[in-house]
Amino acid sequence: MLDRSQTVARIVLDHSECAPIFQKNRIDYCCRGGVSLTEACASQGLDPDALATELERAIGARSGGDEADPRALSTAGLVGHIVSKHHQYLREAMPFLAPLSAKVRRVHGEHDGRLLELDDVVKALFAALEPHLDEEEQTLFPELTKRAPDRALVARELGAMQQEHLEVGALLGRMRAITADFTTPEWACNSYRTLFSELERLEGDVLRHVHLENHVLMPRFAEA
Ligand SMILES: [Fe+2]
Ligand SMILES: [Fe+2]
């Protein structure tokens, strides 16, 4: 039985299989993960019994071969995992998705106005993410893995990181709202469908990524 007074961030830490269920139900377990399951349901107008049942089913169905618990990783190991898995993914996905979004906008924007807004949000999202990844890789992460990190620098960098995560989270929320949960019309072509499915995948990856930085990495340096 799931303890509904636990925070949604904590539920994802203990049961990573709950992340896609929160994603689908627009529950932000990253930047606003400090609320209980009960509170999160109330703010999203969701039935807590139905959601808890769905989460418990996912937890019960969890099969072996899952990723190791990131909390068990050293800081160097955790940072290495974030960069090689999540930063690398974005560095490949963004150059593919930016022109695809522009193309779908150009071809179908006249008939489907949400594609104009979506392309603007995609551009803003990538413009926020690119320097964010660079800053983490070039400044924050190397400092965190030093034997004696510079406390003032770490505090400043972590504060900025958290702010930028909020901005990214807000843009992801707009992306999901504009696309009505990434649903495509009957007439959508392959490019349109690919754009929507890949953006949903990107949302899921970024949520996991930010969750690791906010709830596993940052608490290790909270005193800084
Ligand atoms: Fe990152
Ligand atoms: Fe980050």
The ligand minimizing its distance to the Cα of 90 is 1
The ligand minimizing its distance to the Cα of 161 is 2
As to burial, measured by CB atoms within 10 angstroms (0-12 exposed, 13-18 middle, 19+ buried), residue 45 is: exposed
The ligand minimizing its distance to the Cα of 168 is 2
**Structural domain spans, the chain:** 8-61, 72-221
What is the token pair recorded at 111? 């008939």
pLDDT, tens digit, 9 for 90 and up, residues 19-36: 999 999 999 999 889 999
Ligand 1 centroid – CA 220 distance (Å): 16
Biggest CA-to-CA distance, the chain: 58
As a whole number of angstroms, the distance between CA 100 and CA 11 comes to 35
**Which pLDDT does position 63 carry in this prediction?**
61
Cα angle value 17/18/21 (rounded, 5°) = 115
Residue with tokens 């929320």: 173
Ligand 2 centroid – CA 160 distance (Å): 10
**Which pLDDT does position 64 carry in this prediction?**
54
Ligand 2 centroid – CA 132 distance (Å): 6
- % of the chain at pLDDT higher than 90: 92
What is the token pair recorded at 187? 């007439």
- % of the chain at pLDDT higher than 70: 97
* Mean pLDDT across 173-188: 96
Residue with tokens 């979506």: 118
Confidence label for 66 from pLDDT (cuts 50, 70 and 90): low
Ligand 2 centroid – CA 208 distance (Å): 10
Ligand 2 centroid – CA 161 distance (Å): 6
* Residue 182, pLDDT above cutoff 70: yes
* Residue 224, pLDDT above cutoff 70: no
* Residue 54, pLDDT above cutoff 80: yes
pTM of the model: 0.90
Cα angle value 74/208/71 (rounded, 5°) = 25
Neighbours of 183 (CB within 10 A): 8
Beta bridge partners of 52: none
The ligand minimizing its distance to the Cα of 157 is 2
* Residue 216, pLDDT above cutoff 90: yes
pLDDT, tens digit, 9 for 90 and up, residues 111-168: 999 999 999 999 999 999 999 999 999 999 999 999 999 999 999 999 999 999 999 9
One-character DSSP codes across the chain:
---TTSBHHHHHHH-GGGHHHHHHTT--SSTTTTSBHHHHHHHHT--HHHHHHHHHHHHHH--SSPPPPGGGS-HHHHHHHIIIIIIHHHHHHHHHHHHHHHHHHHHHTTT-THHHHHHHHHHHHHHHHHHHHHHIIIIIHHHHTSSS--HHHHHHHHHHHHHHHHHHHHHHHHHHHHTTTT---TT--HHHHHHHHHHHHHHHHHHHHHHHIIIIIGGGGTT-
